Structure 1
Amino acid sequence: MSSAPVSSAAEPELQRAESLLGPDAQRRLSRAARLSAIAAALWLPQAAALAWGIAGWAEDAPLSRTLWMALVFALLGLLRAQGDALASRLAYRAADQVLHAQRQALLDREALRLGGASSGALSALLTEKLAVLGPWITRYRPAMARARLLPLLYLAVILTISWAAGLVLLVAGPLIPVFMALVGMAAKDASQKQMVEVGAMNTLLIDRISALPDLLLLNAAAASRAEFAARAEGLRERTMAVLRVAFLSSTVLELFSALGVAMVAVYVGFSLLGEITIGTWGLFGPGLTLFQGIFLLLLAPDFFQPLRDLAAAWHDRAAAEAVAEELGDLRQDRLVPVLGQGGDAPPLPGPAAISLRGVSVRRGEQVVTLPDIEISPGESLALRGASGVGKSTALDVVAGLLVSETGQTRVAGHALVDDTADAWRARIAYIPQEVHIPDMTLRTFLTGDSTSEVPPEALHRARATRIVAALPEGLETVLGESGAGVSGGEARRLLLARALIRGADVILADEPTADLDATTGAAIIEVLQGLCAEGRTVVVATHDPALAAAMGRALDLEAAQC
């Protein structure tokens, strides 16, 4: 499916929501709307057949007339059911297509967005918020098509029978869309506030779960529970506000619908009793015939039914607009360009030399200027300096995870561009501060294959043998997305073992000894020194004087920028 066009901030909300659909979904929904309207319009001949059959039964007409009308009614009902089913199938397929495309586009985009949304807010958008697009897609467009066609069609037929009944519906009908529009503005505002509260609630939950050990150590569990309870109360109030608006609009709709149907019923009843002799065109005599009266009674409620359906879908539309507006705001955020496609590629040929010249990088609203850096093949370098000076930024630039606004980065004798980034990353082992271990077995994580052998020598050199032995299933243990079951220092040693197994000849490590005890930190330093001795290029960003001293050269970025 082609990606939906990006809407501008000045675009109307409905157009924003419509822009999420894409051409394939638009075509499916147009067909679904037409089928739904045509299927609903079949009630007109159905009602005529039912009224004619009942009138014949009451007027002692031959039984065959009633039976034929019953057969016509049943056949039209089957045809109507088939049309509704096909329309629903098309609408639900369009909804599935749109939700899948929007989720994938959001995941692809958020992976590259500066700063990035919190995991709680992102999960709320991906699950709870995007899900509200489903009812809007499946209900709103078909309901709008029925509301545009059926009331006018029914009104035209009713007016040919009784101008009085038509006048009643003509007065009551237009009041409903007017009140729907007024209530709709309140519904959109209430939905927006509810969506904000849902995102905040998810963010708070994820943050508190990740900080649970610290909260327990600081004896702050009670305060955290109180904050969570306050946030939950806020979400309850926002949800109740949405429900109040929904009940208000439903009450207004049902009031005018009931009044309109009741007035038509009173008119038909008194006309059939002969008490009212006006309101018809006089073609069949004064008053209404039994067939006409029953036919009017069957059509009057269905005159309002499309408006009822549209009112129900109106709240879906308001929620969809709120989500579309949030997605539109995300699209306007600056993206971090990442070089390459992130796929597998053969290693980039050439000696593992690294050169940064005149490089500056934008991170959010800040521009980080890096000094010129030259790293020879097999050299070890420690990048030092205060927090925010650009140590981690320099590593990200070397790995092709950030693209500089100025200057040039060269690796292995090649310019680091889209065409070379994936091949260059095939030679790199990156050890971040926060290690992410995917949801796979440790064997697969270390070797890239679920059946490959893990060399014991690699585990021994990385000081990871005891780590693996302590896991419940050894190399077959699934550590999960957060690396549960191993500490930060253990996860970094596993990454070093992975670098040894896969033969990476360029090691980039961001604060590899941070927050570790002296023994674990010394073990990691020893492993990095061993990699340097083998001729691998090692670049570390660190505040640790012991690690910086263990490298062949140290570069103070703050001093180098002066």
Structure 2
Amino acid sequence: MRRDPDPLARLVQPVSRVLRQGSALTVLSGLVWPAQAALVATAFGRLVAGQPVGIGGLAAAYVVLGLVRAWLGMAADRKAQAAAETLTAGLRAEIVAGEAARSGAGAAGGAGAVAALAAEKLEALVPWLTRYAPARLRVAVLPPVILALSLWFSWAAGLVLLISGPLIPVFMALVGLAARETSERQMARIGSLNDLLVDRLSALADIRLLGAGDAVARDFATQAGGLRRDTMAVLRLAFLSSTVLELFAAVGVAMMAVWVGFSLLGVVSFGTWGAPLAPEAGIFLLLLAPDFYQPMRDLAAAWHDKAAAEAVAAELAARAATQTPSLPGRGERVAPLAGPASITLAGCRAAHGLRLPDMAIAPGEAVALVGPSGAGKTTVLRLMAGLSLPCDGEVRVAGQTLTSDNADAWRARIGWMPQSVHFLNASLRANLTLGRAGDVAAALAGSAAAGVVTRLPGGLTARLGETGGGLSGGEARRMTLARALHGAPDVILADEPTADLDAGTAGAVAEGLLAANRRGATLVVATHDRNLAARMDRIIRLEGTA
């Protein structure tokens, strides 16, 4: 996959107008200072020359300009903060909505990585928007303006700034090459550490039963130590760049002060455009010199903010590039789709290019999908369930073409048993019913899971965590079967329902599925289990051709 050359610029496009307005205001605020410096230089120059100062008028003008500068700075900060809040809130909403609508397991990482991205990493964009972006425009405008003003009074003063100034961005570019890689490594470590924490917490009961607490703690300490080292590496780069920049700025200001002082004392007579350097001009140059370097100092101080923001933008771009298609429909609770419990696939091609065979499944039929791994068995089940739509071809259910408009209604008729076990962070009853009406006891009996519920603390009120902590693999699989059977759906789709189960548990799960079929439900299972496939009415073989 080709990397986006500038994912950060693409990311901030929605708030670019507000960001430009804020940056323009901060530049205007910086341009006020030369006028204030001119007032101060005029006052001191008149004092040195023994002329009337008119301190009242100069002080009043200085205060007015100061108020204008403060107002412009405050307005710029508000614009930048508004842009940051709008962007992060919008991106956070997109991440949450994307996770809610994802039709399958994507490449975006686990729950911990997603939470870290939405809650922690997005905040790394705020300093870039509020500090780095305005500083970048100030660097583009203010130093050239101050350089031009300095050259107006003295070519030597301009030469001092012209020699010392370019050293700063050169060093910043060198530091930036290392800062970006270090920040990307730190951001990746944050996501993986959050994933590790979520995984270990979900399996806490099993970890205690196995006595693996010390080993898990050591592993977590190792990962946390790696994050600490990456964070310190980022901070070292930030302090290094700031230290070198301060050195260059201090040397430049000192050189300016030495030349101005010797010129006013008459020790040196070169550097001006003919006439000797006037006190007003010398003081003006001394007041301007620090502000020549200040925008670059601000930019260097926020340089690591740029590296962190680029790392987050690259992660968001990669996430968008690998995001699975959204779930068809709105995910709303609607009335079941009318019509027979029939399913037909014709000329279908999946999103990843896999060609699928045509098939027609009659109401009440029991069908097994078999074939090698990667042949498309899970893809076929997802198309049948309305969890995704084909790129080409047609899926017909209940005599109608399956679309996003009727996907919710079709799914209301389906009992779904996925290959991967997953539970909501809610009670066991809520996980089994999912808000649907039906007989919980009958579903548990049909999946041979009533005994499992009896031994759980709290029974149907027990909370298992997302991965079913406290249940064995077979018990968790029986719970997913109970969820599929709840409400007596007239279509049941099961993905590898007996995989990795002992013979007794596999037999109980298979019997529960076949019992539902005997009462009239259409049953489709994707399986490598030859015994289960042999008990179906029909077998459809998939070869997996592109």
TM over 0.5: yes
Counterpart amino acid of 2:107? G
For 1:393, the equivalent position in structure 2 comes to 379
Match of 1:265 in 2: 257
C-alpha deviation, 1:481, in angstroms: 3.6
Of the three residues 160, 164, 172, the one matched with 1:168 is 160
Change (3 A) 1:361 1:443: same
Q: Is 1:557 aligned with 2:546? A: no
Q: 1:486 to 1:454 in 2, by over 3 A?
A: farther
Matched, 1:511 2:496: yes
- Show the 5 A alignment for 1:283-322: 286-289=276-279, 291-322=280-311
Of the three residues 388, 394, 409, the one matched with 2:395 is 409
The superposition leaves residues 288-327 of structure 1 with CA deviations (integer Å, 9 ceiling, x where unpaired) of: 32x4443332221111101111223333333333443444
* Residue matched to 2:522: 537
Q: CA deviation at 1:84?
A: 1.8
Task: Supply the distance in 2 between the matched residues of 1:396 and 1:345 (Cα, whole angstroms).
Answer: 20
> Compared with structure 1, are the counterparts of its residues 240 and 81 closer, same or farther at alpha carbon in structure 2 (3 Å cutoff)?
same
Partner of 1:78: 67
With the length of structure 2 as denominator, give the TM-score of the two structures.
Answer: 0.81
Q: Secondary structure at the match of 1:132?
A: helix
User: 1:28 pairs with 18, 28, 33, which one?
Assistant: 18
**Judging changes above 3 Å, is the alpha-carbon distance between structure 1 residues 243 and 305 closer, same or farther for their aligned structure 2 residues?**
same
Alignment partner of 1:508: what SS? strand
Judge conservation of contact 1:54–1:66 (CA < 8 Å) in 2.
Answer: no
Cα 1:473/1:224, change in 2 over 3 Å: closer
In structure 2, give the amino acid aligned to 1:269. Answer: G
Write the mapping of 1:135-534 to structure 2, written as runs, cut at 5 A: 135-199=127-191, 201-202=193-194, 235=227, 238-276=230-268, 278-280=270-272, 286-289=276-279, 291-333=280-322, 335-336=324-325, 339-357=328-346, 359=348, 361=350, 367=354, 371-384=357-370, 387-404=373-390, 408-442=394-428, 444-447=430-433, 455=439, 457-458=441-442, 461-462=445-446, 479-484=464-469, 488-492=473-477, 494-495=479-480, 498=483, 502=487, 504-516=489-501, 524-534=509-519
Shift of residue 262, structure 1, vs aligned partner: 0.4
- What 5-or-longer segments of structure 1 have no aligned partner? 1-7
Tell me how many residue pairs correspond in the alignment: 541
Decide whether the 8 Å contact of 1:17 with 1:320 is kept in 2.
yes
Assess if the C-alpha contact under 8 Å between 2:417 and 2:484 holds in 1: no
Cα deviations by residue, 1:489-520 (Å, 9 ceiling, x for unpaired):
55555555555654532121223344556665
Q: 1:493 to 1:214 in 2, by over 3 A?
A: closer
CA drift of 1:82 comes to 2.5
Classify 1:552/1:203 alpha carbon distance in 2 versus 1 (closer, same or farther; 3 Å).
Answer: closer
Cα pair distance change 1:520/1:81, threshold 3 Å:
farther
User: Aligned partners of 1:374, 1:525: CA distance in 2, in Å?
Assistant: 23
Q: CA deviation at 1:28?
A: 0.5
For residues 456 and 19 of structure 1, the distance between their equivalents in structure 2, rounded to whole angstroms, comes to: 50
Identical pairs, percent:
49
SS at match of 2:304: helix
Partner-residue secondary structure (3-state), 1:351: coil
Flag the 1:188–1:494 CA change in 2: closer, same or farther, 3 A.
closer
Q: Give the secondary-structure state (helix, strand or coil) at the position aligned to 1:170.
A: helix
Residue deviations 1:163-202 (CA, integer Å, cap 9, x gap): 4323322222233223333333343344344445555555
Q: 1:340 to 1:460 in 2, by over 3 A?
A: closer
CA distance in 2 between partners of 1:94 and 1:352 (Å):
51
- Say if 1:113 and 1:333, in contact at 8 Å, map to a contact too: no
Q: Which amino acid aligns with 1:347?
A: P
Distance, in Å, in 1 between the alignment partners of 2:214 and 2:541 is 44
Q: Is the 8 A contact 1:17 1:321 kept in 2?
A: yes
Q: Secondary structure at the match of 1:355?
A: strand
Q: 1:468 to 1:11 in 2, by over 3 A?
A: closer
- Quickly say closer, same or farther: Cα 1:560–1:435, change in 2 above 3 A: closer
Deviating more after overlay: 127-136 vs 202-211: 202-211
Higher mean C-alpha deviation, range 415-424 or range 336-345: 336-345
Cα distance in 1 between the residues matched to 2:266 and 2:33: 28
Amino acid at match of 1:80: R
Match of 1:46 in 2: 36
For residue 559 of structure 1, report the CA deviation from its aligned partner: 9.6
Kept in 2, the 8 Å contact 1:384–1:554? The answer is: no
Structure 1 pair 466/89, CA: closer, same or farther in 2 (3 Å)? farther
- Specify whether residues 406 and 288 from structure 1 end up closer, same or farther in structure 2 by C-alpha distance, changes over 3 A only: closer
The superposition leaves residues 140-162 of structure 1 with CA deviations (integer Å, 9 ceiling, x where unpaired) of 22112111221122223333444
Secondary structure at 1:417 match in 2: coil
Equivalent-residue separation in structure 1 for 2:268 and 2:155 (angstroms)? 13
Q: CA separation in 2, counterparts of 1:324 and 1:212? A: 34
With a CA cutoff of 8 Å and minimum separation of 6, indicate the structure with the bigger relative contact order: 2
Report the 3-state secondary structure (helix = DSSP H, G, I; strand = E; otherwise coil) of the residue aligned with 1:429: strand
Structure 2 unmatched runs, 5+: none
Any conservation in 1 of the 2:150–2:157 contact (CA below 8 Å)? yes
2-side partners of 1:122 and 1:502: how far apart?
A: 33
* One-letter code aligned to 1:270: F
CA 1:10–1:493: 2 relative to 1, 3 Å: closer
Residues 499/18 of structure 1: CA separation in 2 closer, same or farther (3 Å cut): same
SS in 2 for 1:422: helix
Aligned-CA RMSD value: 4.2
> How much has 1:476 moved relative to structure 2?
5.5
Cα contact 2:440–2:486 (8 A) shared by 1 = no
